[in-house]
Amino acid sequence: MTASKSSRARNARIGAQSSAGRNTAKGGTARGSASGSAPRNGSASRNGGGGAGQGRTATAVRRDQTRSAAPRNGAAARGARVQAISDEVVQSGPPPWLQVTTFVLALAGLAVSTYLTVAHFTESALAGCSESGLVNCTKVTTSPESYVFGIPVAVLGLAFYLFVVAIMSPWAWQARRREVHLARVASMVAGIGFVLYLIYAELFIIGSICLYCTSVHTITFVLFVLTVIAAAGWGLRPGAAWKAGWARALKLAPQAD
């Protein structure tokens, strides 16, 4: 009887200890699960914060790209305007008034040279020209100085102005080949040099002047000045020098949008 009670008491103590051990194990598992889930929740929080930061960074990058694209687009539009205006200037060449003026003066020089040539070969007196004193057309046109290398000066003037009419035409002014503009400058330099010789011959060798010859000399001088102005202002090659000069000027000038 006593032995069975002792056995029951011992079994009860063993059962109580087993129950306490199981409860302790369950509590540890629960605490482990809670502590293990905390880092995962922290990682999720960090990941969420990183996603928001990446979104803000992408928005800032797009904003910067938009700001940087605006100046580039403005510069491209301005460059297109400069290109269009400079191309238009290149096509037209120097101002129309200069082209027309030089062409009309060349025609006038050709007309006077033609008349002097006809008068030389027909030996007729020049209309409206004095035959005595400082103004003496006959004395000038029949002097030895009216020939150069055996060729009448009137014929040389006629040939010269035939070329000048062609080189001073608006079509020649608008030519894109550099050689055309070089030929114009070279011809006018040669022409003004010859004019200076003829003026010297009239004043210091012959002692008389011819009104028709003086008119040709004046026309040649004006053409020379206009040609030099055109060469200095627009260059000798519209397709390159004129275009570059106008493009630089337009880039420096303010553009109104």
CATH fold for the domain made of 94-252 = de novo design (two linked rop proteins) (1.20.1440)
Per-residue confidence of the chain (257 residues) as pLDDT tens digits? 444 555 565 666 666 665 555 554 455 444 444 444 444 544 444 444 455 555 566 666 566 665 555 555 666 666 666 555 555 544 456 899 999 999 999 999 999 999 999 999 988 888 888 777 889 998 999 999 999 999 999 999 999 999 999 999 999 998 888 899 999 999 999 999 999 999 999 999 999 999 999 999 999 999 999 999 999 888 776 544 444 544 555 555 554 44
| pLDDT value at residue 34 | 43
| pLDDT value at residue 257 | 41
Closest listed residue to residue 100, CA positions, set 241, 212, 226? 226
Neighbours of 164 (CB within 10 A): 27
Tokens of 40: 């995962």
| pLDDT value at residue 132 | 77
Instruction: Give the predicted TM-score (pTM) of the model.
Output: 0.60
Q: Within a 13 Å sphere around the CA of 6, how many CA atoms are in the beta-carbon half?
A: 3
| pLDDT value at residue 21 | 53
Residue 199: C-alpha distances to residues 123, 140, 237, 253 (Å): 22, 11, 33, 46
What is the amino acid identity at position 65?
A: Q
Cα(201)–Cα(74) distance, rounded to whole angstroms? Answer: 64
Which residue ranges make up each domain of the chain?
A: 1-92, 94-252
Residue that the structure tokens 């200890």 belong to: 17
